Amino acid sequence: MTIWASIVLGIVEGLTEFLPVSSTGHLTIAAKILGLRIDDPAITGYTAVIQVGPIAAVVLYFWGDIRRIVVAWVRGLVHREHRDEFDYRMGWYVLVGSLPIGIVGFLARDLISGPLRSLWWVAAALIIWSFVMVAAERLSNRSRPLDNLTLRDAVIMGAVQCLALIPGISRSGATISAGLFRGLDRVAATRIAFLLGIPALVGAGLYELKDAVSGGVGPAALIVGTVVSFIVAYASVAWLLRFVTKHSIEVFALYRVALGVILILLLATATISAQ
């Protein structure tokens, strides 16, 4: 992989990781346009590893919250009287909510990195999940703030996050939609989606690191892609949190449908191949 290609993929990853548009789907499309083999384990590994950039970005952005939650969680483990604190419970919510995608991702790893990398899957998932996002917006009362979050909410959002293993679904799109269906307001659903994404992305990056390195991608491309994705993702997180305070996520659904339709037309006319 060239440094130029790693910069392009880093920008795509940083822009799309936390927006509900599917970073994996966009990376698959971008890799295809760049002439890379999208079913190559090295490329699949590379796209997982550069997620470290957005992870670092969201950790830095939410550092105050993360530090407070970790301190409260540890304190609650040691002292029973602190276990009624919301931050202590939040620590458990993030841990338990992150388990489903770790288990499913490991068990379905060959399917995820193989057949599901087809651009037909990406196009279908982009379009189909858009309707779920619209339904989440229109059917939810969005009345519950973050401090009203429950373990049941976290487990459901974590389970739905597993669907994002299908390229085109979008991890943030899946978890935000699930949060909205649970009655959480947009900001609460988005913040917990970000927090649930940290363990998931760390696990995927560590697991795929060996394929990216052994496949000949090269450390320079990995470093450049990760740094670029970090810078772009930090700006993306800040923008999205401001956006959802006043705007619906339906605009992302419209974009997803348009991209999915364009992709289907390109595939149907053999302008590009599915793999």
Total structural domains within the chain:
1
Note whether residue 183 is domain-resident: yes
pLDDT for residue 264 is more than 90: yes
pLDDT for residue 116 is more than 70: yes
Write out pLDDT tens, residues 190-229: 999 989 988 877 777 676 666 666 556 678 888 999 999 9
* Euclidean distance between CA atoms 196 and 55, whole angstroms: 11
262 confidence band (pLDDT: 50, 70, 90)? very high
Q: What is the pLDDT of residue 209?
A: 66
pLDDT for residue 80 is more than 70: yes
Report the mean per-residue pLDDT for the chain.
89
Structural domain for 260, as ranges: 3-268
The Cα angle at residue 26 between residues 20 and 32, in degrees rounded to 5: 170
Q: What is the pLDDT of residue 212?
A: 60
Sign of the four-CA dihedral 199, 202, 205, 206: negative
Q: What is the pLDDT of residue 208?
A: 64
Q: Which of 166, 163, 43, 164 is nearest to 116 (CA)?
A: 166
Q: What is the pLDDT of residue 251?
A: 94
- 251 or 43: which carries more pLDDT confidence? 251
Q: Per-residue pLDDT averaged across 159-165, rounded?
A: 91
The Cα angle at residue 153 between residues 202 and 129, in degrees rounded to 5: 70
Write out pLDDT tens, residues 127-136: 999 999 999 9
pLDDT for residue 167 is more than 80: yes
Note whether residue 273 is domain-resident: no
Write out pLDDT tens, residues 12-48: 999 998 899 988 889 888 988 888 877 777 777 788 7
Place of tokens 């994404």: 197
Note whether residue 275 is domain-resident: no
Q: Provide the percentage of residues in the chain whose pLDDT is more than 70.
A: 95
* Euclidean distance between CA atoms 50 and 209, whole angstroms: 9
At what angle are helices 41-49 and 3-16 packed, to 10 degrees?
Answer: 60
pLDDT for residue 115 is more than 80: no
Q: Are 206 and 102 within 8 A, CB to CB?
A: no
pTM: 0.87
